[in-house]
Amino acid sequence: MSVGLPNDRASLDLRLGQLALALRTDADDVLKVQAMLADTTRFSDAILMAAPPDGYGYTSAEVSNIRASILALANWVKIGDAQLTQPALNNFWFDAAKWLGVKR
């Protein structure tokens, strides 16, 4: 009797498929959130900074971080989809890393 996760071709194929599906799903979600935040009728800086219940209560610096982060992540997705090219090195995680609370 073996213990632990299986280590065979079917398991590797399954894991690779799961990773590709998760990345595609997350990439689609990044683009959806970017489009949502681009709707300045619902998500203007003023609304994002207004106190609840009318707004979200973010500070100006937090709104800047949100906008920079989602733009960087959306660009990363678009580069991966060959919709955009990156002329220079860029840390796409720089702003979004603040969302994680820990460093990678």
- The domain ranges of the chain are 11-100
Residue 96, pLDDT above cutoff 90: no
- Residue 3: band (very low, low, confident or very high) from pLDDT cuts 50, 70, 90: confident
Q: What is this structure's pTM?
A: 0.84
Residue 1, pLDDT above cutoff 60: no
Percent of the chain beyond pLDDT 90?
74
Higher pLDDT, 74 or 95: 74
**Which of 93, 98, 102, 42 is CA-nearest to residue 71?**
93
Residue 64, pLDDT above cutoff 90: yes
Average pLDDT over residues 13-28: 96
Return d(Cα 58, Cα 63) in angstroms, integer.
6
Judge residue 78's burial from the number of C-beta atoms within 10 Å of its C-beta, 0-12 exposed, 13-18 middle, 19 or more buried.
Answer: middle
